[in-house]
Amino acid sequence: MSTDLHPYSALTPDTIMDAVESLGFYCDHRLYPLNSYENRVYQVGIENSAPLIAKFYRPKRWSAAQIQAEHDATLALKAAGVGVAAPMLIRGKSLFQHKGFYFSLTPKIVGEAPEPGNLDQLFQIGELIGAMHQASADWQIEQRPYIPHSQRIERASNVVLQSSYLPSSLRVDYVKVVEMLQLRVQQTLKAHANNAIRFIHGDCHRSNLIAHDGTLTLLDFDDCRMGYAVQDLWLHISDANEKRAQLSELIEGYESHCDFDTRELDLIDVMMADRTIVYTAWIAERWSDPAFPTIFPHFASEGFWLQHLQDLNEVLAHWGQWR
């Protein structure tokens, strides 16, 4: 696909500033793109005021109702005292539209991502996730339902197999390892059929957290949905050799607010398989976005896919070792 046909080609600096100014702000022409692959996010300078963060949602990914469900969740969490970045309410609304783009504004939060493996910060992260789960314990978000991991893996692996990126010489090996993983996934999910499905952030890793003056703020609820509690914890494990100590801190912090069912640790393997396969399919689906070949230059190389197969086999080889 030609880059000029990609929907973000219409998101020019003038369009960004016009969108922000349509809500009554005056831009000072300072625009800084922030690290976001799926959407487009900018720090926008505002005359005589602090900068704002403008998020422009990827067209056709979410409906207005699904985005609003995300906004309503973060606003409710913030109102409950949970440390989350919520969109601004302007004339009673948080979601706006300009020239075909849904967008929102959020105050800029100063800070940096937590340090990987820092046990004190892992305890704090567990506390924050526990507070979020406590505040949302009885939520049912119909617009963001739970999608079984086996279903997500099936869809994603089909995307990969139907693409031209997986080398033909590796297709048999890919199909074989995905089939073995799917069997393990289905067996594990069946064994945990009684575990609770609840509201989760859905993409809770250190890059979606900001630490400042000893406090943490959770960002970017774009992937929030119904799911298992452990989904919001396991991505903070930064070292397989230290996983027990790191999990211990996360869970101890979490249980300051919520009980944690340690049987859910078995589901981490399911989530690792899901994330590894879905992430690769996501790149394949987004390859026409001109940002993606720049960010993932080796995606179309055989080396990328050999590493991907190795990663999948590693998940399989270490299955069932989380407790």
Give catalytic status of residue 203 as yes or no: yes
Half-sphere exposure of 52 (CA within 13 A, CB side): 26
- The span from the CA of 219 to the CA of 20, in Å, is 20
194 is in an annotated binding site: no
Tokens 């020239």 -> residue: 99
138, 173, 203, 261: which is the annotated catalytic residue? 203
HEC string of 34-80? CCCCCCEEEEEEECCCCCEEEEECCCCCCCHHHHHHHHHHHHHHHHC
- The span from the CA of 179 to the CA of 202, in Å, is 25
Q: Which two tokens stand for residue 115?
A: 């340090």
- The span from the CA of 2 to the CA of 22, in Å, is 30
The pair phi, psi for residue 43, each rounded to 5°, is: -85, 125
Question: Is the Cβ–Cβ distance between 122 and 128 less than 8 Å?
Answer: no
220 is in an annotated binding site: yes
- Point out which residues pair with 97 in neighbouring strands: 102
28, 220, 222, 274: which is the annotated catalytic residue? 220
Measured over the CA atoms of residue 118, residue 207, residue 230 and residue 160, the dihedral's sign is negative
- Point out which residues pair with 226 in neighbouring strands: 199
- The span from the CA of 174 to the CA of 169, in Å, is 10
Instruction: Provide the annotated active-site residues.
Output: 203, 220
> Binding site for Mg(2+): which residues?
208, 220
Binding-site residue positions: 208, 220
